[in-house]
A and B are shown apart, each in its own frame.
Chain A
Amino acid sequence: MSSSTLVEKTASELSDLLSKKDISSLEIAQACLTQIDRVDGQVHAFLHRDDTDFLAQAKASDERRGKGNLLGPLDGIPVALKDVISVKGQPLTAASKILQNYISPYDATVTRKLKEAGAVIGGRLNLDEFAMGSSTENSAYGPTRNPWDLNCVPGGSSGGSSAAVAAREAPLTLGSDTGGSIRQPASLCGVVGMKPTYGMVSRYGLAAFASSLDQIGPFSKTVEDAALLLEVISGHDPLDSTSFPSEVPSYTANLSNSQKPCVLGLPKEYFGEGMDDEVRNAVDLAVEFYRTQGHKIVEVSLPTTELAVPVYYVIATAEASSNLARYDGIRYTTRSEKAKNAIDVYAKSRGEGFGEEVKRRCILGAYGLSSGYYDAYYLRAQKTRTLIREDFNRVFKDVDAIITPTAPTPAFKFGEKSDDPISMYLSDIYTISTNLAGLPAISVPCGFTQRKLPIGFQLIGRAFEESSLLSIAHAYDREHKFGCVVPSLVKE
């Protein structure tokens, strides 16, 4: 099988081919590297590669297969990670200058789980610095480009993770989602991206941005592949005290359970102003598909929607300003040469090491927590967060899932929003509420604009009911498979 054919396969297809011994894991790994060599000069999804280690893992998987000691369906399948997830002995920069020489001294829990499942872990994927941004333009190492149009952003912050799947450089990747950082880039790059329920996937070994909102989740071409990867990385972890002790069912085995009709809610607040017409049409068609399949569509109301963006930016920046205090010039790789005393070490190292958006958010966060403003900003935002959760709780009494666009527009051009923080923040308007409420949500590709830019819709589920959410998403995806459409960049 040619390497260009191999990289177009889904992880499930690769897994089948491996079990039939039609191909080896080494061939898959080599096909990925060939593809990265071919397109990553243009796409720039990867910040770092360790080809020797990558190929050695693939060979080890082939040896296991030869001896019949397979570790599971992901054994031999490449998975690339966003550069905020620790892999022992590999760099982790968070796309920041301040961590430019950092080497992880331990594995994140998701990394350990992937290794135990035999996955072939390779490559560090680009992002907005410390996952702060919606376009990957905030990377200290240069932006990632959208494989569907190199003049457009891939979304963010996990833009490297979404672009790598879209450009067929990796069949599966992991990202992290604090306010939409998996789902928005998945939508803009035409792939599947999922944020699990808060607490479903361990955050141990994830460079923290906003700890009460961050979750790690999968990117893939299909919902089936997302289920496969999520199954491996989910589960309670004593090393993360916010990890939730809940059972992980077999998401892949339950995928076809959506035969029975379910009730899908359309929140009227999500279909108002600011949405691109082509996005609206594509999402309407997806809704129509569910209706024709016998599912009931009802209008619902989430009146706190307009408060989600301000609540998020108060809470996330407050948590970030506290989390990022650890980058103090003492322990993490980079210290200003100009520092003369202790305060200098902090202020100058951080002034030199952080990029503009990270500085902006840490300052905003420090302001919201500062004496005299705490009650008006941080505490008030936390109370409003309660109202947002209550809105969802009320709606989920009557519906099985909520269906919305993932992002208000398709991929936008570089520079279009980079000097206007509010306009950039609003590109997460449909994804942010679910992080505040802790709910699982998935972006599924549902077509293209006339200019051939991908569009995605979002399904939001009940807490800890990933199984049901994935099966509802799969019901659409298996009939459409827009994530399997290959960008012309890859075909050329």
Chain B
Amino acid sequence: MSESEANPMDIDYVSNLARIELSEKEKEKFRGQLGDVLKYFEKLQEVDVDGVEPTAHAFPRYNVWDQDIAKTPFSIDLALQNAPKSRNEQILVPKVVED
């Protein structure tokens, strides 16, 4: 039995990992579609990759350094212009600690 058949995608678990709230209708639709996609990915399980190094970038570059020179950053206004909510030159978020 292939892996995806043995473990069909638990859509509630994975959508929580991705921090995306889905409607019941979306969950139903994705379950079928992503099941098909995973079946399509099965091809990869047949490839002999023993001893093959993974490729993260086609032309990797390592230790890319920049000169340690101070530059003028965005002004506070510019940095905050796209924040959905801000106050006192800071981004406003819901309370994250308990009372």
Q: Which A residues are within 8 Å of any B CB, using their own CB?
A: 101-103, 105-106, 197-199, 212, 238, 241-242, 244, 306-307, 309-311, 313-314, 321, 325, 328-335, 339-348, 350-352, 354, 356, 359-360, 362-367, 370, 376-377, 379-387, 389, 421-422, 436-439, 463
Residue A307 contacts which of B3, B23, B44, B91 (CB distance < 8 angstroms)? Answer: B44
On chain B, the residues within 8 Å of A342 by CB distance are 93-94, 96
Given contacts A105-B81, A439-B58, 17 further A-B contacts (CB under 8 A): A105-B82, A106-B74, A198-B57, A212-B58, A238-B66, A244-B59, A307-B44, A333-B83, A362-B18, A363-B11, A363-B15, A363-B18, A376-B45, A377-B41, A383-B47, A386-B52, A421-B37
Q: Is the CB of A366 within 8 A of B17?
A: yes
Residue A241 contacts which of B26, B30, B64, B81 (CB distance < 8 angstroms)? Answer: B64
Give the residue among A212, A311, A350, A363 with the most B Cβ atoms within 10 A: A363
By DSSP majority rule, is chain B's interface helix, strand, loop, or mixed?
loop
User: Would you call B14 an interface residue if the criterion is a C-beta within 8 Å of the partner chain's C-beta atoms?
Assistant: yes
Q: Is the CB of A389 within 8 A of B82?
A: no
- Chain B interface, number of residues (Cβ within 8 angstroms): 50
Q: Is the CB of B52 within 8 A of A387?
A: yes
On chain A, the residues within 8 Å of B74 by CB distance are 105-106
20 inter-chain pairs at a CB distance below 8 angstroms, sorted by A residue, are A105-B79, A198-B57, A199-B59, A244-B59, A307-B44, A314-B41, A330-B93, A332-B82, A343-B19, A348-B21, A352-B21, A359-B22, A359-B26, A363-B14, A363-B15, A377-B44, A380-B47, A383-B52, A383-B53, A437-B58
On chain A, the residues within 8 Å of B47 by CB distance are 307, 380, 383-384, 387
Q: Which of B37-87 contact A (CB under 8 A)?
A: 37, 40-41, 43-45, 47, 49, 52-59, 61, 64, 66, 74, 78-79, 81-85
Q: A352 vs B84: C-alpha distance in the bound complex, in angstroms?
A: 15
Closest to B18 in A: A366
On chain B, the residues within 8 Å of A343 by CB distance are 19
Q: Is the CB of A387 within 8 A of B49?
A: yes
Q: Is the CB of A383 within 8 A of B54?
A: yes
Give the residue among A212, A310, A328, A354 with the most B Cβ atoms within 10 A: A310
Q: Is the CB of B20 within 8 A of A362?
A: yes
Q: Is the CB of A102 within 8 A of B82?
A: yes
Q: Is the CB of A384 within 8 A of B44?
A: yes
Taking the closest CB of chain A, its distance from the CB of B1, in whole angstroms, is: 14
